[in-house]
Amino acid sequence: MHYHKVPLLYFLNAATEFILLVTVFILAGVLRAFSPIGSQFGMWDVWTFLPVAGLYALANVACYAVEGTYRTLHVKNWGKQLFLVGLTNLAGLALMATVFYTFRVNQLSRLLLVYYYLLSIVVIVGKRFAFDKAADAYVRRNDIASRTLLIGSGELAQRFYAETFRGKSPVSLRYSGYLAPAPCKALPDYRGTVQDLYRVVRDNRIETLVLVQDVQDAAEIRRIMLLADSYHLRVAAVPVYNDFMTARSELDSVGSMRYTNLHLMDTCDIMGVNIVVTDMDKTLRLIEEKLEDWRGKYICVANVHTTVTAHEDPDYQAVQNGAVMALPDGGPLSKYSRQQGYTNAARVTGPDLMKELLRQSATKHYRHYFYGSTQETLDILRKKVEENYPGAVIAGMYSPPFRPLSPEEDEEVVRRINEAKPDFVWVGLGAPKQERWMAVHEDRVQALMVGVGAAFDYEAGNIRRAPMWMQRHNLEWLYRLMQDPKRLFKRYFVTNTKYLWWTWRQ
């Protein structure tokens, strides 16, 4: 059970060991006071040295933190754990002895330090064993282990299954079957071939994929990664040279099997929405690289308003997280990601993304379809695009009526879009309407859909964008508010307040 993003649990785990180390010092003092060995020693001496014991405990806990002990409650290797605790406590003991010597404490009892050292190792390792079992029991009782699908059926897959799932399964993974060219008697729950991956993931609510093929094909792994990336699945790979692997920070292990986590994009969980960690250059490269794979999919451009709305509406949250990317349009979102350690996180706004892709169209031959806004705005937008982005091909434009479309009308719109063969469909319906529209039309519209809000009005000149200094300081919302206070005041006041309250609680 990893919880490095929950500072309170991290602190409580460290505080527990600090309290235990101080308590053990008192217990060691009691043993020393009643020990027939050594010179006379009373409980008063124990209380006298208690501040030094606190220093010892603090130094040890700091060392444990540096070692990464508090990142998880799960203990992988008990021999290694015993060695690390013994070595760390020995360093702390040397610090305590140095303090005694520096301040010329005559009552120093070496026997007390021996008792303390041995007891502290037993208690700390015992505490970690107990917490490990408690975490295991909690995960099992609440059924929160990750549903795991193996891909492969050879010797490597059978070995991984035997060490990981046979008998008592580990805390973090729960076996949900395997994919392979053909069934294997040694593995239960055959789910089909890799071609069935989408169906199996959808029907079994798979959360983790583990690649355990004896022969790993790069092209196939890439296809798997693209699907996993679209549905925010965790992917791990067991290298075929596993027996030659040694423990490294980027590897996890189950028994003697080691595996490494794979990912194409980092995301930061903000109020339940998976905001991608990116910048404009990286986003443009990803879109160029994956455009063909992402046809029929959609990109959400998230800000504080949409993120708070998604936090309160599970259906809308599912729409946001169903996108191939939820970009941080709002400056506070990229700022929060940086505060969580994603130092490369930067703001990527919908209007700026549309500008950049229109600008690249002359050389990359992109075709664009604009869906949304009024016909008047679209007419102005067409002229602006032709003037400012020579070579950009406008495949079509459509201003939907301000009412729900009938099924027949909707089918006609989809047909018109697909016949125009665009690469991008820019959807300017405003949030949350545009995100819901894209989700409903996923895999029906054969282009990459991008919800860009007011980008049509910006490009057409109907609305002025905030000065660059306001954009850099995350004040574009204030500029928008001054332009349309009657409509935006309630939205910004309510959602910004909720967002600030949520971030303060974090």
Quick check: is 167 in a domain?
yes
Quick check: is 497 in a domain?
no
Which residue, among 212, 204, 215, 197, has the nearest Cα to 254 in the 3D structure? 212
Whether residue 392 sits in one domain with residue 418: yes
pLDDT tens for each residue of 303-324: 999 999 999 999 999 999 999 9
Residue type, 115: Y
Give the per-residue pLDDT at 4: 39
Decide the pairing of beta strands 234-237 and 173-179: unpaired
Low-confidence winner among 20-29, 32-41, 231-240, 338-347 (lowest mean pLDDT): 32-41
Tokens of 144: 């929160």
Regarding predicted confidence, which is higher, 505 or 149? 149
Whether residue 129 sits in one domain with residue 168: no
Distances (CA, A) of 306 to 212, 250, 429, 438: 39, 34, 13, 15
Quick check: is 402 in a domain?
yes
Whether residue 444 sits in one domain with residue 365: yes
Whether residue 130 sits in one domain with residue 164: no
What CATH number does the domain containing 153 carry?
3.40.50.720
Regarding predicted confidence, which is higher, 153 or 488? 153
Residue with tokens 């995301």: 267
Work out the number of other CB atoms within 10 angstroms of the CB of residue 287. Answer: 22
Give the per-residue pLDDT at 477: 67
| Ranges 111-115, 240-244, 441-445, most confident | 441-445
Peptide bond just before 7 cis, omega within 30 deg: no
Specify the pTM: 0.54
Whether residue 273 sits in one domain with residue 244: no
Give the per-residue pLDDT at 73: 67
pLDDT tens for each residue of 154-193: 888 888 888 777 755 444 678 889 999 999 998 999 999 9
Whether residue 137 sits in one domain with residue 151: no
Give the per-residue pLDDT at 410: 95
Give the per-residue pLDDT at 412: 96
Q: What is the Cα–Cα distance from 454 to 463, expressed in whole angstroms?
A: 8
Average pLDDT for 415-443? 95
| Per-residue pLDDT band at 3 (split at 50, 70, 90) | very low
Q: What is the Cα–Cα distance from 192 to 188, expressed in whole angstroms?
A: 12
Regarding predicted confidence, which is higher, 2 or 339? 339
Last residue of a domain, one of 243, 262, 281: 262
Main-chain phi, psi angles of 398, to 5 degrees: -150, 130
Listed as own residue / partner, the contacts of 464-468 with beta carbons closer than 8 Å and 24 or more positions apart are 465/351
Tokens of 275: 């905001």
Q: What is the Cα–Cα distance from 177 to 115, expressed in whole angstroms?
A: 51
Quick check: is 496 in a domain?
no
Average pLDDT for 198-206? 87
Last residue of a domain, one of 119, 141, 163: 141
Average pLDDT for 4-21? 74
Average pLDDT for 406-435? 95
Average pLDDT for 32-42? 68
Regarding predicted confidence, which is higher, 124 or 133? 124
Whether residue 243 sits in one domain with residue 279: no
What CATH number does the domain containing 417 carry?
3.40.50
| Per-residue pLDDT band at 143 (split at 50, 70, 90) | low
Whether residue 165 sits in one domain with residue 66: no
Rg value, the chain, Cα? 29
Q: What is the Cα–Cα distance from 330 to 475, expressed in whole angstroms?
A: 10
Specify burial of residue 308 (Cβ count, 10 A radius: 0-12, 13-18, 19+). Answer: buried
Give the per-residue pLDDT at 242: 47
Give the per-residue pLDDT at 115: 82
Whether residue 371 sits in one domain with residue 250: no
Task: Work out how many domains the chain is built from and give that number.
Answer: 3
Residue with tokens 């986003």: 283
Q: What is the Cα–Cα distance from 173 to 160, expressed in whole angstroms?
A: 12
Residue 376 pLDDT more than 90? yes
Whether residue 153 sits in one domain with residue 135: no
Work out the number of other CB atoms within 10 angstroms of the CB of residue 332. Answer: 19
The mean pLDDT value of the chain amounts to 81
Residue 342 pLDDT more than 70? yes
Residue with tokens 């890799």: 194
Regarding predicted confidence, which is higher, 33 or 443? 443
Q: Where are the beta strands (DSSP E) in 243-391?
A: 251-254, 257-262, 267-270, 273-276, 298-302, 325-328, 367-372
Average pLDDT for 201-210? 86
Distances (CA, A) of 143 to 135, 172, 236, 253: 12, 10, 21, 21
Last residue of a domain, one of 242, 262, 282: 262
| Residues recorded for the chain | 506
Average pLDDT for 325-352? 87
Percent of the chain at pLDDT above 70? 80
Quick check: is 403 in a domain?
yes
Give the per-residue pLDDT at 114: 81
pLDDT tens for each residue of 230-239: 677 778 887 7
Average pLDDT for 249-262? 50
Give the per-residue pLDDT at 145: 65
Whether residue 281 sits in one domain with residue 375: yes
- By residue range, what is the domain housing residue 158? 145-262
Does residue 485 sit in helix, strand or coil? helix
Quick check: is 62 in a domain?
yes
Q: What is the Cα–Cα distance from 347 to 2, expressed in whole angstroms?
A: 28
Residue type, 65: A
Element (H, E) at 260: strand 257-262
Whether residue 358 sits in one domain with residue 304: yes
Give the per-residue pLDDT at 251: 42
Quick check: is 474 in a domain?
no
| Per-residue pLDDT band at 77 (split at 50, 70, 90) | low
pLDDT tens for each residue of 88-98: 888 777 776 67
pLDDT tens for each residue of 465-481: 777 777 776 667 676 66
- Which ranges of 236-349 would DSSP assign to H, the alpha helix? 280-290, 304-312, 314-321, 331-339
pLDDT tens for each residue of 346-359: 889 999 999 999 99
Quick check: is 44 in a domain?
yes
